């Protein structure tokens, strides 16, 4: 857990997920606490290349085989007739989410790893960012995206390591990377020195 800014500051949180544009969130409170959480949106049965799952469908009363990347058995509870108690949720090769497929006898499931999806999926690690007031347990903002995630916090107008520069357009200023700007000035200075001897 990392806290940012002081009471009365107007924090700006800059969040950049892999392959996405920078997002800006401006909490109305300060100080704020920011945490990140790594997670995936698949089960322990997930495989990038997929596999064939065979089982007995209790509502169709016959065997079935499907090629999937992931699956999960959900138990509706002991109050249900065995025929409808266990649901098979699958993530088909061309899908990104688990969807209910049919009811199943869990003891009938078998996996054949020699039959796979037509392509191998690139595994993506996800990151969830939580922002809350320092003295609170409730999130005031949550966002998620692909890892890695870069977070910068400005307690004033610009994040640490950036210089504020006035400009005519909205919001009336811009933030420049101080190190990069100093390096550009150093290059121009050296160039002028070499020409002026």
Whether 118 maps to a domain, the answer reads: no
* Residue 43 domain flag: no
Q: Which two tokens stand for residue 179?
A: 């190190």
Q: Tell me which residue range forms the domain holding 171.
A: 157-197
Each residue's pLDDT tens digit, 48-80? 999 999 999 998 889 999 999 999 999 988 777
Cα separation of 51 and 23, whole Å? 37
For residue range 143-186, what is the model confidence (pLDDT) as tens digits?
999 889 999 898 877 777 888 788 888 878 888 888 888 888 88
Number of domains in the chain: 3
24-35: string of b/e by CB count within 10 Å (b at 16+)?
A: ebebebbbbbbe
């Amino acid at each position: 857990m990392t806290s940012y800014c002081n009471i009365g500051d107007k924090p700006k949180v800059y969040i950049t997920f892999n392959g996405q544009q920078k997002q800006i969130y401006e909490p109305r409170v300060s100080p704020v606490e920011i945490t990140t959480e790594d997670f995936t949106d698949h089960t322990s049965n997930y495989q990038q290349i997929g596999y064939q799952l065979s089982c007995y469908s209790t509502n169709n009363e016959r065997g079935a085989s499907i090629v999937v990347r992931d699956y999960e058995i959900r138990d509706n509870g002991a109050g249900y007739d065995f025929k409808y108690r266990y649901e098979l949720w699958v993530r088909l090769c061309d899908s990104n989410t688990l969807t209910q497929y049919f009811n199943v006898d869990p003891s009938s499931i078998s996996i054949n790893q020699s039959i796979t999806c037509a392509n191998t999926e690139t595994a993506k690690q996800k990151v969830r960012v939580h922002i809350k007031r320092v003295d609170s347990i409730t999130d005031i903002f949550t966002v998620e995206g692909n890892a890695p995630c870069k977070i910068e916090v400005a307690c004033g107008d610009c994040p640490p390591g950036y210089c504020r520069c006035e400009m005519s357009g909205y919001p009336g200023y811009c933030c420049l990377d101080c190190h990069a700007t100093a390096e550009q000035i150093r290059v121009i200075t050296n160039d002028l020195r070499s020409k002026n001897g």
